[in-house]
Amino acid sequence: MGKQKIETTNTNKKVGKSVLLGAAFLMATSSIGPGFLTQTTVFTQQLAASFGFVILISLLLDIFAQVNVWRIIAVSGLRGQEIANKVIPGLGVLLAILIVMGGLAFNIGNVAGAGLGLNAMLGLDPIKGAIISAAFAIFIFVVKEAGKAMDKVAQFAGFVMIILMVYVAFITSPPVGEAVINTFAPAEISIFAIVTLVGGTVGGYITFAGGHRLLDAGVKGVESLPQVTKSSVTGIAVTGVMRIALFLAVLGVVSQGLAIDPANPPASVFQLAAGEIGFRMFGVIMWAAAITSVVGAAYTSVSFIRSFHPMIEKYHNWIIILFILVSTITFALVGRPVNILLLVGALNALILPLALGTMLVAAHKKNIVGDYKHPLWLTITGGLVVVIMGVLGIITLIEQIPLLFK
């Protein structure tokens, strides 16, 4: 037993920065998708400098949710669905169904976003662009070291997006002082914006993306917790930097009194900020955001069914490829099924409270975490996120369902 523990610790040291950064960026780039770009732009238009407060509160809630989930996955050495099944038999299956449905539906949007990105970047037809992008995503999982390839793509794409976004934020000359003041003393507060941001950053499959990636890389056990916590916070920090940079870029454009095109708000911001080059830069960011979300959604959704049958475990990379193919073919033939996306979006709001609530129960069960003592402050803050997101998730569901029958 002693020898086993030494080997695990060495693995963690050897895995080191590459895997920890890879997991952080996989989670971060999974959350930075086409929806992230549009939501951030639209909310900044609506709330102006006060959107800084929304970003601050949502980042805190994101950290509370994510640190809890990643720590419990690492301590137990089990994936989310396995933990849920140990809390209540069958709950893991329900969670897996919800996450796979959500992942598949959102991936149609991600594939569409990748097509639009290549259209803005190179002028390609969006459907052709979507098919080329899907082929690129599939190639990642054909490579022998698929996990490492995925880590590298996520990190590279993340860095490119941050550099371009910070550049655009810089050239629009936003009123930074006003933004800082309103971040701590906002002129108006939008609960809906906070819920949307938290759901988009750590909702659905996203918060499990990095936790499951670390598990696959052998990072688990109580001794790995400092690394796991650091990696989880890094992931949220990356999404925070992106969100703040885009917020400032939009604020700079809005404060100059320029009109943003409602048909494609984020593209309009980049075009107004830097002309034709800005529009091409938007294409690069949109494509990088979408392709990493395609990869993250497929990888994490399939990780939720891997433990259900030895054949799924054995051929999981091929099932990930199938997952990407189904999303792409649906988009190419049907386009984006709006009603399905509305329903899945509403159900997705319930996944975070259900999953996080289950994890918090698991954190106090000896048959799952052994002698590990979960910090009280994490239990309390995690519980707070469950209650807030649970109530608001139910309200969202009640509001969305009648829209399906119009």
**CA–CA dist 24, 235 (Å, integer):** 4
Short-list 280, 277, 276, 282, CA closest to 250 = 282
Q: What is the pLDDT of residues 334-370, one digit of tens each?
A: 877 666 666 776 677 788 999 999 999 999 999 999 9
* 203 token code pair: 């909702």
Q: Is 257 exposed, middle or buried (0-12, 13-18, 19+ CB in 10 A)?
A: exposed
**CA–CA dist 367, 169 (Å, integer):** 49
Taken in order of first residue, the domains within the chain and their CATH numbers are 17-404 (1.20.1740.10)
Q: Which pLDDT score, from 0 to 100, does residue 123 have? A: 93
Residue 1, pLDDT > 60, answer no
**CA–CA dist 283, 341 (Å, integer):** 23
- What percent of the chain lies above the pLDDT cut of 90? 72
Query: Model's pTM, two decimal places?
Result: 0.88
Contacts of residue 373, defined as CB under 8 A and 6 or more positions apart, other chains included, come to none
Q: What is the pLDDT of residues 178-215, one digit of tens each?
A: 999 999 999 999 888 888 888 888 888 898 999 999 99
Contacts of residue 342, defined as CB under 8 A and 6 or more positions apart, other chains included, come to 400, 403, 404
Q: Which pLDDT score, from 0 to 100, does residue 404 have? A: 66
Short-list 280, 281, 288, 346, CA closest to 101 = 346
Once rounded to an integer, what is the mean pLDDT over residues 232-244?
94
Distance of CA 343 to the CA centre of its chain: 19
Q: CA of 157: how far to CAs of 42, 226, 281, 339, in Å?
A: 23, 26, 13, 31
**CA–CA dist 107, 300 (Å, integer):** 12
How many alpha carbons lie under 13 Å from residue 54 in its C-beta half-sphere?
Answer: 28
Residue 69, pLDDT > 50, answer yes
**Sequence-ordered alpha helix ranges (H) in 78-123:** 80-87, 91-122
**CA–CA dist 142, 295 (Å, integer):** 12
Q: What is the pLDDT of residues 6-54, one digit of tens each?
A: 334 444 455 578 889 999 999 999 999 888 898 899 999 999 999 999 9
Residue 264, pLDDT > 80, answer yes
Q: What is the pLDDT of residues 87-120, one digit of tens each?
A: 999 999 999 999 998 888 889 989 999 999 999 9
